[in-house]
Amino acid sequence: MSIPGDPRQWRIGLVGYGEVGRILAEDLRTQGVAVAAYDLKLGTAADGPLRQHASQHNVSLARTHAELASQGDFIVSAVTASQTVAVAESCAPAVKRDAFFLDFNSASPGAKMKAAGLVDAGGARYVEGAVMTAIAPYRIRVPLLLGGPSAAALQPLLASLGFDATVASEKLGVASATKMCRSVMVKGLEAMVIESFTAARAYGVEDQVLASLAETFPGIDWEKQGAYFFQRVIQHGRRRAEEMREAAATVREAGLEPWSAAGTAERQAWMADLADAKVFEGSDPVRRGWRGEADRVLDAVKARVRG
């Protein structure tokens, strides 16, 4: 069966039904586009919210990667970075010939090239995607870079669905390298702020540190920025840690030792461990401010030392 020429007639398959997958599902369903999804959490004790969301938005749920891929005219992979190649491997044998496979994942150029080889070998058309900022404020119109030989063909089709996609290069790896190198800076800044501000809080010098930062970088509200960084890492530290391991791989692929990226991955994962341990339970970093969250971190550290 041929792929419909009108994207609004496509059956779109979402691999990964987390924050990104659910936002895309909502915006596509608003346009009347048929959407199916698969997530590894389905069939586990944690699948309740996924099934509730799917029922609310009339999204059908597949039982396996292969089932989803075999039914979709357009597949979007939006999973954690470490699953990029595994998803391509699982979907490739079943995906329809000539169907587009858009890889949304924050992975290194090397990982994207491996995924592309698997998908293209199965007769589908792989396109790498690099999401260039937080998706929540923009939703389906989040700035998206496309890469690969099929990127130019997919771009106008995505535009008709409401995506804000730009072709970065027909060469694979350019879009993901752009994303990963940006992440070294952005996620690294998050980790540095958490480390700096929490240590400053421990020494009682946070006001002096923020005053000095405001003098050096007068365009940044460090109190507000600190609260935002704490919030994002508390909520998404695990996913960010995986992304930063891919960023470290990107730096390593360029021939450099990824000291900063690797350290950022460890700090993000450390915060995720604290979140998993319920250190921040009932917390709202923006409303409470970063100082309250830093105090919780310091209390957890002291408790571990005493233990």
Indicate whether 155 and 299 sit together in one domain: no
Indicate whether 14 and 147 sit together in one domain: yes
Supply the CATH number for residue 188's domain.
1.10.1040.10
Please give the pLDDT value at position 129. Answer: 97
Please give the pLDDT value at position 281. Answer: 85
Please give the pLDDT value at position 287. Answer: 65
Please give the pLDDT value at position 225. Answer: 95
Reduced 3-state DSSP string for 46-63: CCHHHHHHHHHHCCEECC
**Is the overall model pTM greater than 0.85, yes or no?**
yes
Q: Residue 227 is part of which domain span?
A: 176-306
Supply the CATH number for residue 50's domain.
3.40.50.720
Please give the pLDDT value at position 289. Answer: 87
Indicate whether 24 and 157 sit together in one domain: yes
Please give the pLDDT value at position 286. Answer: 58
Q: Tell me whether strands 34-38 and 11-15 are parallel, antiparallel or unpaired.
A: parallel
Indicate whether 137 and 261 sit together in one domain: no
User: What are the mean pLDDT values of the chain's consecutive 10-residue runs (307 residues total)?
Assistant: 84 96 97 97 92 97 96 95 95 95 96 97 96 92 97 97 97 97 97 98 98 97 95 93 96 97 98 95 72 95 83
For 205, phi then psi, to 5°, come to: -115, 20
In a domain, 1, yes or no: no
Tens digits of per-residue pLDDT, 111-166? Answer: 999 999 999 999 999 999 999 998 989 999 999 999 999 999 999 999 999 999 99
Nearest to 81 by CA among 236, 191, 193, 228: 236
In a domain, 200, yes or no: yes
Q: 242 to each of 180, 268, 306, how far by Cα in Å?
A: 12, 9, 30
Indicate whether 68 and 101 sit together in one domain: yes
Listed in sequence order, the residues at least 6 apart from 45 whose beta carbon sits closer than 8 Å to its beta carbon are none
In a domain, 194, yes or no: yes
Indicate whether 81 and 38 sit together in one domain: yes
Residue 95 near residue 76 (C-beta atoms within 8 A): no
